[in-house]
């Protein structure tokens, strides 16, 4: 699979309004990706907390985990 490289923004000769629109588009995409990442991070934190709770409930006292 070959992809053609995108032209540099510097050589695109965009107007100020086009640059602003491009920045807004990239900012919106970055914010969406950030929100998705935060959702996955929160899921991981909840899973870690649940795992810690289960470990304390089911592991015998006085033994250390090797993991």
Residue 42: its pLDDT value, please?
97
Q: Which residues in the chain show pLDDT less than 70?
A: 1-2, 62-67
- Cα(45)–Cα(50) distance, rounded to whole angstroms? 9
- Compute the CA torsion angle 33, 38, 44, 47 (nearest 10 deg): -130
Give the distance from CA 27 to its chain's centroid.
14
Q: Which H or E run includes 26? A: helix 16-58
Any residues with CB less than 8 A from the CB of 55 and at least 6 apart, and which? 65
* Per-residue model confidence (pLDDT) at position 59: 84
The pTM is what? 0.59
């Amino acid at each position: 699979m070959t992809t053609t490289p995108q032209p540099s923004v510097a050589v695109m000769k965009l107007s100020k309004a086009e640059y602003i629109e491009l920045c807004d588009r990239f900012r919106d995409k970055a914010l969406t990706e950030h929100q998705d990442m935060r959702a996955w991070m929160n899921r991981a934190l909840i899973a870690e907390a649940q795992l810690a709770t289960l470990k304390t409930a089911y592991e015998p006292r006085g033994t250390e985990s090797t993991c």
